[in-house]
Structure 1
Amino acid sequence: MGRFDYDLIVIGGGAAGLVSAKLARGLGKRVALVERGRLGGECTLYGCVPSKTLISAARTAALIRNAPKHGLDIEGSRGIKTDNVMTRVRSVVEEVYRGHTPEAIERLGITLLFGEPAFKDNHHIQIGDKTWSSKNFLIATGSSSFIPKIRGIDSAPFFTNETIFGIERLPSSMIIIGGGPVGSEIASAFNSLGVGIDLVHKHVRILNKEDPELVDILSSKMREEGVRLRTSCKPVAIRREGGGIALEMEDGTNSATLRAEAVLIAAGRRPNIEGLGLENAGVQYTPRGIRTDLRLRTSAPNIYACGDVVGPYLFSHMAEYQATVAVRNAFLPFQKTADYENAAWCTFTDPELARAGLTEEEARDRYGERVRVYRQAYGGTDRGKTDAADVGMSKFICYRGRLVGAHMLGAHAGELIHEAQLAKSLGIPFHRLYEVIHIYPTFTDVVKYPAKLCYIDRLKDNPFLKVLQKFL
């Protein structure tokens, strides 16, 4: 046993914490993982896994309702019963959780410590009545739902993403406060499953950080399917009313009251930093999270942090990326900095909205008018026609022939974006994707056709070909 009990103590057993602990253990380090609840974290228990299972059920329901678009008639149907949807959601969560059980983690040689940790100094933490020491620490405590200040919120029942998947049956109606990724996904899914939805959002558009052109298409689709989008509205008061909830809201000039059986608050996230005793360890933080440099090192040189507690992107895949950077810097001689230029994500509405890199507006602000934009509507592809999946568009933003942004709204957008993400990350000129043989008929035409337009532009801009054309 060395000077310390461990080489690394990881605080938090979610995506970032599990990746960090496993990687450090793979490097031969003595590792302990501290968790106050169940292993798996937000993504497994309350986020990615349950929400995507719910969304899968919603898409199946939508496909059944849209059977006539495919030439099918369903005879003798009494409608779609959703009684078992949430049971199915929880069963999938448990199935995924089996890969993160304490027994599975301990078999890797990682010590598990359960309880509420607090730093005594930058090398010691206390859990209950025991103190543990480590050469290095990694904080990966994640985030929790942010509850906005609304009059009456303390006495009115509401759901968050941490509680909504525990319900036994779907409500008949729901008010969702917040039109970010969580609110928009659940609004889309619940609406497809027959829940009346009012989505209240303070900005002009839902998903206000995404490409406005594609968000407008998505918003129109959601409205057509029955979601009531209350944008530019601020909730001011909430109360119980009968067997449901009443929400008062304002849009700057007018006020209105919405009523529903239930309310979901999806108004953002807050970092989990309370009770950690960060001051004792010399770790600086703000209300937005723990401060780190690009090596994911905090103001205490032996303490690293990653995931939602750091940001700036609150996604599990970004947490995993940060975890590999942090562990590498803690134990290997060659330091690596986190590079967020190639961050990518997807909002799993119906249809999906995926993004990699800059929006058109951001690109023009950075590079000026030399930016070129290439688009392709899903309805203009043969596969979009065969699958009756004609809603959506791909949009590629290039500067000097290379991708600086890619955006997709449509079927399988979260999968299709990876071809553009690969080209962008590896610095492959966008036109080169047209030279790749794409299988026909597939949705990859929403990448191939814009790449073809870029290829044509490249030919037009070639000075040798310009001269040659004069003699042809």
Structure 2
Amino acid sequence: MTDTALDTFNVSPMDEYNQKLVSHVHPPDWVNPTPADCYDLVVIGAGTAGLVTAAGAAGLGLGFKVALVERHLMGGDCLNVGCVPSKAVIRSSRVVAEMANAREYGIVPPESVTVDFPAVMERMRRIRSHISPHDSAERFCNLGIDVFLGNGCFTQNNTVRVGEKELRYKKAVIATGARAVLPDIEGLDAAGYLTNETVFELTERPPRLAVIGGGPIGCELAQAFQRLGSQVTLIHRHSHLLHREDADAADIVQRQFLREGIQLRLGCQPTRVEKTTEGKVLYCDGDELCTVDEILVGAGRAPNVERLNLEAVGVEYGKKGIVANDNLQTTNPKIFAAGDVCMNWKFTHAADAAARIVIQNTLFAPFGLGRVKLSSLVMPWVTYTDPEIAHVGLYEREARDRGIETQTIAVPFENLDRALTDGETDGFLKVLHVKGADRILGATLVSRHAGETISELTTAIVHNIGLKQLASVIHPYPTQAECIKKAADAYKKTQLTPFTQWLLSVVNRFS
């Protein structure tokens, strides 16, 4: 490799917005710097975990020498093929749904709503390019970080090679992320398929789209494309969508999908694809499932561990990724890992939180003192369907497995004034708490903006704020977040036992 970046990356379509994106996150004229004699920290991978680790270490003002290595696009999945583009497309699809339902609000919609799909995707590309300077090579260089574009691999203890450059380090962090898993389906390669890494390159709407996988990614994109005018067939090997979520929450989303016309094929796994003049025909054990124009695979993620030469430095890994302990330390004590490459939580905010743990444990925990554990985190997450499902803490089944006796308070949104005025009553809040106590163990929220509301409950769990204390918090009326106040009030009412009521009545007589 020369001093310039080894590969030139094009992101289709190479319009002005994608040209701007690439100029920021993998500039074709980038010149890799001359390495320092030794780095305090070398970070491989410039997705969320890597960027936060590098920026956090370099921004402490303590003179740490930090190198950041990226072989593809800085910003990782979140910026390029994940959070940013998907939420932009989902937002456009919500506008279509709002227009379609306008009559329920006393508004007469046009006879037909025309979706300009190329314009939807152009808007997504414009937004992505606008955000890209935040993750750019130039920005991180200006933070005092040596940015190396190219494939990084370990050659021996304390050394990472990028092309012809050798980077010596005291500590290293692997943050290379994950990629889409391809199911074992005969004929899939020949027929052609999309993943989350290529679906955002579309400029024309597929009239018929099969989505394989009924988890969060598959469900989010299936609903978005259905609303944007594709006829979507969603294929899931389990008997219910979002099978890892609260069953009542998943059922609301599944019923909404059916109302919107998404065709569900549940309890089956495609075994073969045949490309014909009519389209791409998917089969399950000989039975025809559907004929479509495009196939989107959204059936899980696989860690990026290839090309790192991990054997050279004694870092153990497997199908689930790099083996790391609760401190995010690998089997090589000088090498740590963070993000999708080693964690079950495959969320941007989880990668961010893990990066902060890595900074503490690599730079501020001498002799292992003061280390932070991954298991100490309270992790919320959101599935961005419409309505959204947000969850934090334990599910009832998890608490049961731990031997914790629990009780659940449920607040249906049909009893919530703001949900009634918004026409968004198909949702609920469930709060799981210790039986006989107000300690919150977990919560599941289903609403159009559940992701915006769940943080109050996350804060309560993190800081051990019980339902009694939440009952004293004034929530503006009318808001959908008032459901939290209602849940807390419901708990307080359970404290009014027959004896307490009798005692209060006696006291009241003599007061």
Q: TM-score range by the shorter chain?
A: over 0.9
In structure 2, relative to structure 1, the CA distance for the partners of 1:117 and 1:207 (3 Å cut) is: same
Contact 1:122 1:303 in 2 (8 A): no
Counterpart in 1 of 2:316?
Answer: 284
Cα distance in structure 1, aligned partners of 2:226 and 2:341:
32
Cα distance in structure 2, aligned partners of 1:75 and 1:280:
64
In structure 2, relative to structure 1, the CA distance for the partners of 1:59 and 1:45 (3 Å cut) is: same
Matched, 1:72 2:86: no
Aligned residues: 467
Equivalent position amino acid for 1:46 in 2: V
Counterpart in 2 of 1:320?
Answer: 352
Give 1:256 deviation, angstroms: 2.9
Matched, 1:202 2:237: yes
Deviates more, 1:309-318 or 1:354-363: 354-363
Counterpart in 2 of 1:422?
Answer: 459
Give 1:459 deviation, angstroms: 3.4
Counterpart in 2 of 1:397?
Answer: 432
1:12-411 equivalent positions in 2, closer than 5 A:
12-27=45-60, 28=62, 29-75=64-110, 79-242=114-277, 244-250=279-285, 255-333=287-365, 334-339=370-375, 342-367=378-403, 370-399=405-434, 400-411=437-448
Equivalent position amino acid for 2:249 in 1: L
Secondary structure at 2:311 match in 1: helix
In structure 2, relative to structure 1, the CA distance for the partners of 1:77 and 1:148 (3 Å cut) is: closer
**Aligned residues with identical type, % of pairs:** 35
1:390-469 equivalent positions in 2, closer than 5 A:
390-399=425-434, 400-460=437-497, 467-468=503-504
In structure 2, relative to structure 1, the CA distance for the partners of 1:204 and 1:469 (3 Å cut) is: farther
Give 1:464 deviation, angstroms: 5.6
1:367-408 CA distance string (max 9 Å, x none)? 45x411111122221111111112111111111211111001
Cα distance in structure 2, aligned partners of 1:429 and 1:405:
12
Contact 2:99 2:113 in 1 (8 A): no
Contact 1:10 1:34 in 2 (8 A): yes
Contact 1:145 1:269 in 2 (8 A): yes
Cα distance in structure 2, aligned partners of 1:2 and 1:114:
13
Secondary structure at 1:409 match in 2: strand
Equivalent position amino acid for 2:389 in 1: L
RMSD: 1.9
Counterpart in 2 of 1:6?
Answer: 39
Contact 1:363 1:397 in 2 (8 A): no
In structure 2, relative to structure 1, the CA distance for the partners of 1:213 and 1:86 (3 Å cut) is: same
Equivalent position amino acid for 2:485 in 1: K
1:439-459 CA distance string (max 9 Å, x none)? 011111221211111111133
Contact 1:36 1:116 in 2 (8 A): yes
Contact 2:234 2:263 in 1 (8 A): yes
Secondary structure at 1:57 match in 2: helix
Secondary structure at 1:408 match in 2: strand
Deviates more, 1:268-277 or 1:334-343: 334-343
In structure 2, relative to structure 1, the CA distance for the partners of 1:280 and 1:77 (3 Å cut) is: same
In structure 2, relative to structure 1, the CA distance for the partners of 1:143 and 1:470 (3 Å cut) is: same
Cα distance in structure 2, aligned partners of 1:226 and 1:403:
38
Q: Any stretches of 5+ residues in structure 2 without a counterpart?
A: 1-33
1:222-250 CA distance string (max 9 Å, x none)? 11111112111111001212263111124
Q: Any stretches of 5+ residues in structure 1 without a counterpart?
A: none
Give 1:2 deviation, angstroms: 12
The two structures have a TM-score, normalised by structure 2, of 0.88
Cα distance in structure 1, aligned partners of 2:377 and 2:399:
12
In structure 2, relative to structure 1, the CA distance for the partners of 1:354 and 1:2 (3 Å cut) is: closer
Secondary structure at 1:418 match in 2: helix
Equivalent position amino acid for 1:401 in 2: D
1:89-110 CA distance string (max 9 Å, x none)? 1111111112111111111000
Contact 1:402 1:429 in 2 (8 A): yes
Give 1:466 deviation, angstroms: 6.0
Q: Which runs of 4+ in 1 moved over 4 A?
A: 1-4, 75-78, 463-472
In structure 2, relative to structure 1, the CA distance for the partners of 1:46 and 1:197 (3 Å cut) is: same
Cα distance in structure 2, aligned partners of 1:196 and 1:344:
32
Secondary structure at 2:193 match in 1: coil
Cα distance in structure 1, aligned partners of 2:317 and 2:226:
39
Give 1:417 deviation, angstroms: 0.8
Give 1:312 deviation, angstroms: 1.5
The two structures have a TM-score, normalised by structure 1, of 0.95
Contact 2:281 2:288 in 1 (8 A): no
1:22-73 CA distance string (max 9 Å, x none)? 1111233100100001210001100000000011101111111111011001
Give 1:361 deviation, angstroms: 2.5
1:135-167 CA distance string (max 9 Å, x none)? 110000000000011111221210000000010
Equivalent position amino acid for 2:372 in 1: K
Equivalent position amino acid for 1:284 in 2: E
Secondary structure at 1:185 match in 2: helix
Give 1:122 deviation, angstroms: 2.5
Contact 1:176 1:200 in 2 (8 A): yes
Give 1:468 deviation, angstroms: 4.6
Contact 2:96 2:113 in 1 (8 A): no
Contact 2:36 2:167 in 1 (8 A): no
Cα distance in structure 2, aligned partners of 1:108 and 1:126:
22
